[in-house]
Amino acid sequence: MKIAITGHTSGIGKALTEVFPNSIGFSRKNGYDLHNPIIREKMYNEISDCDVFINNADLGWNQSSLLYELWKKWKDKDKLIVNIGSDAADYNQPVARPYNIQKRALQDACLQLQQSQQPCKVVLVKPGYVDTPRVQHITATKMDPEELALYIKEIVELRYSTFWIPVITLYPR
């Protein structure tokens, strides 16, 4: 099974790279600024033979764009796109926070594509706080990124099962 991961050099992406040691990584650190549509197109060409794509990099609105663009290329193929969202998408806050709204857009995009009944399956993983550099300043119970990566690996391995998990929310204990 060939896997591609965005945002593979830190946090959840780094843990996923350790769980999937033969994966291909894409991030700014190796020349892939995925905010740029030309660079995303280059990446799509390089992953055409991958079986699984993990849409992990926090690209703001571009995370949803990346999902739509890749799904158009893969929708007729037996492939899997795993999107790393956030439980923050479910919070109604009195002040609009772009992160929450962007993750809600990703969630809605996943739900829309899941209903298409195409061979390419779309999964949304919505973790609570994960102990990554992005949230080191927040005092809260956090999940271990390596443990989260192992759960995601189990979801990916279900790809060969007779069922799939379209959405899962995971909270730290």
- Tens-binned pLDDT, residue by residue, of the chain (173 aa): 999 999 999 999 999 999 999 999 999 999 999 999 999 999 999 999 999 999 999 998 999 999 999 999 999 999 999 999 998 887 776 566 888 889 999 999 999 999 998 999 999 999 988 888 888 888 889 999 999 999 999 999 998 888 889 999 999 88
Check residue 14 and give its pLDDT: 97
Residue 107 Cα distances to 46, 77, 84, 147, angstroms? 26, 22, 9, 22
